[in-house]
């Protein structure tokens, strides 16, 4: 019988894991956490998750109890920004200076401790820039329902945002993709670019950081580390114990995608180093209707998630890959004309500029 792998969560990451499982002869079943019937789990099945946190439902309780839920204990620890930061600190890794937002702490105390501008982040549940609150002026306050529920971070004046996606297998061997340069607008990822020669000198630093975390957690599977580059130093922003949006380019631009690596690692298959093919740019489709004309673009692969389109919601992405930088640039410009002006004009310009600066 084929190995069955259940995925807690049935969003786009689960769907892409399922897709990647087919050529590996793995039966991957993403499960909606609100299903009214529990999955029919066998002892030999494996369980993984596409999200780091979940409410207790019939489905999540059944999956979480399974003895072969890989990395079970890691999710809670990383899903809470406070325990995630404590882990990073305990390993002596660089991260944005932070404080726990204890009850009754004032905005001014936090700004005295951390600096003029402070970013509050809810300990759990935030994503795509949601669950953030800035303290910049004397009038800004810690919202009542954030007391005891948030951490406070120093505002980092970073040069750019870079992520590292890597995988650790059950023998403890780690492999990593080249660093990915990311553009976030309004707290949400718009564009990712990899590989970039000018980031190569930071690769070892990043791999040492993520490798240390993966080993400390005895983690198996794909993890992403988001960092801020300040000069030649990387500060960890946050960790995601799962496949990650900034690794989506690997579907088109690497011999083994992040989705395939995750499945290989948890199913105890080999995880050889990836071959990266060409220059990659990934553009997220955010709050925009499907446009059939995207399919006319050369060197572009469109991934549509089939979700209802809402403002600020990720509904798909486009991977552009080519060895011909001129073709890639021309395609990006054409793509820009097929996307809304708001945010995309900036995202396309940033992508073109980042390719030119390499
Ligand atoms: P994701 O969707 O990646 O999970 P998120 O909303 O959970 O993101 P963060 O990654 O912590 O949260 O923050 C989103 C973005 O906000 C970052 O990518 C960065 O652009 C900005 N940001 C976060 N922390 C800081 C900081 N300490 N100083 C300056 N900017 C920050
Ligand atoms: Mg983030």
**Pocket flag, ligand 1, residue 226 (CB < 6 Å):** yes
CATH 3.40.50.20 fits 3-69, yes or no: yes
**Pocket flag, ligand 1, residue 119 (CB < 6 Å):** yes
The segment(s) of the chain belonging to CATH 3.30.1490.20 are 97-154
| Rounded average pLDDT over 213-234 | 98
| Rounded average pLDDT over 119-137 | 92
| Rounded average pLDDT over 31-37 | 97
**Cα–Cα distance list, 350 to 39, 105, 167 (Å):** 45, 39, 29
CATH T-level topology, domain 97-154: Dna Ligase; domain 1 (3.30.1490)
| Rounded average pLDDT over 221-248 | 98
262 touches 165 (CB < 8 A): no
Q: b/e per residue, 122-151, with b = 16+ CB within 10 A?
A: bbeeeebeebebebeeeebebeeebeebbb
pLDDT for residue 36 is more than 90: yes
**Pocket flag, ligand 1, residue 278 (CB < 6 Å):** no
| Rounded average pLDDT over 234-262 | 98
| Rounded average pLDDT over 125-133 | 88
**Cα–Cα distance list, 184 to 21, 103, 137, 192, 348 (Å):** 30, 31, 24, 9, 12
pLDDT of residue 127: 85
| Rounded average pLDDT over 147-158 | 97
> Which ligand 1 atom lies nearest to the CA of residue 128?
2
**Cα–Cα distance list, 88 to 35, 60, 148 (Å):** 35, 28, 20
pTM assigned to the model:
0.97
**Pocket flag, ligand 1, residue 115 (CB < 6 Å):** no
pLDDT of residue 129: 80
The backbone region for 32, taken as left when phi is positive above 0, alpha when psi lies in -120 to 50, beta otherwise, is beta
Mutation to probe ligand 1, out of 82, 130, 184, 237 (largest number of atoms < 8 A from CB): 237
The segment(s) of the chain belonging to CATH 3.40.50.20 are 3-69
CATH 3.30.470.20 fits 160-356, yes or no: yes
pLDDT for residue 1 is more than 90: no
Q: Report the C-alpha gap between 347 and 345 in whole angstroms.
A: 6
pLDDT tier, 336 (very low <50, low <70, confident <90, very high otherwise): very high
The segment(s) of the chain belonging to CATH 3.30.470.20 are 160-356
pLDDT of residue 189: 97
Share of the chain above pLDDT 90, in %: 97
Structure tokens at 346: 């900036």
| Rounded average pLDDT over 162-188 | 97
pLDDT for residue 128 is more than 90: no
């Amino acid at each position: 019988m084929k190995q069955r792998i259940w995925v807690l969560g049935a969003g786009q990451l689960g769907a892409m894991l399922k897709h990647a499982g087919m050529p590996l002869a793995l039966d991957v079943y993403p499960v909606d956490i609100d299903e009214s019937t529990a999955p029919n789990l066998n002892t030999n099945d494996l369980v993984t998750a596409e999200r780091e946190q979940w409410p207790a439902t019939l489905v999540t309780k059944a999956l979480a109890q399974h003895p072969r839920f890989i990395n079970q204990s890691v999710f809670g620890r990383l899903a809470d920004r406070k325990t995630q930061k404590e882990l990073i600190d305990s390993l002596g890794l660089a991260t944005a200076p932070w404080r726990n937002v204890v009850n009754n702490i004032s905005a001014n105390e936090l700004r005295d401790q951390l600096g003029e501008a402070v970013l509050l982040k809810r300990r759990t549940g935030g994503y795509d820039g949601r669950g953030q609150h800035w303290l910049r002026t004397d009038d800004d306050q810690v919202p009542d329902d954030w007391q005891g529920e948030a951490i406070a971070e120093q505002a980092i004046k970073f040069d750019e945002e870079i992520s590292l996606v890597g995988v650790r297998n059950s023998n403890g061997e780690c492999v990593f993709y080249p660093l990915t340069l990311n553009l976030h607008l309004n707290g949400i990822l718009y564009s990712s670019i990899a590989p970039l020669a000018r980031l190569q000198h930071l690769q070892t630093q990043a791999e040492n950081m993520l490798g240390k975390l993966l080993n400390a957690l005895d983690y198996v599977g794909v993890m992403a580390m988001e960092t801020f580059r300040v000069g030649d130093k990387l500060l960890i922003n946050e960790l995601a114990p799962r496949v990650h949006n900034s690794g989506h380019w690997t579907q088109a631009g690497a011999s083994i995608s992040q989705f395939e690596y995750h499945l290989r690692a948890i199913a105890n298959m080999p995880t050889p180093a990836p071959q990266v093919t060409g220059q990659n740019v990934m553009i997220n489709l955010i709050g925009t209707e499907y446009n059939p004309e995207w399919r006319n673009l050369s060197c572009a692969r469109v991934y549509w998630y089939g979700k209802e389109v809402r403002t600020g919601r990720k509904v798909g992405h486009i991977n552009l890959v080519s060895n011909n930088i001129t073709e890639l640039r021309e395609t990006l410009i054409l793509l820009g004309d097929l996307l809304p002006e708001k945010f995309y004009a900036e995202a396309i310009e940033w992508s073109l500029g980042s390719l030119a600066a390499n």
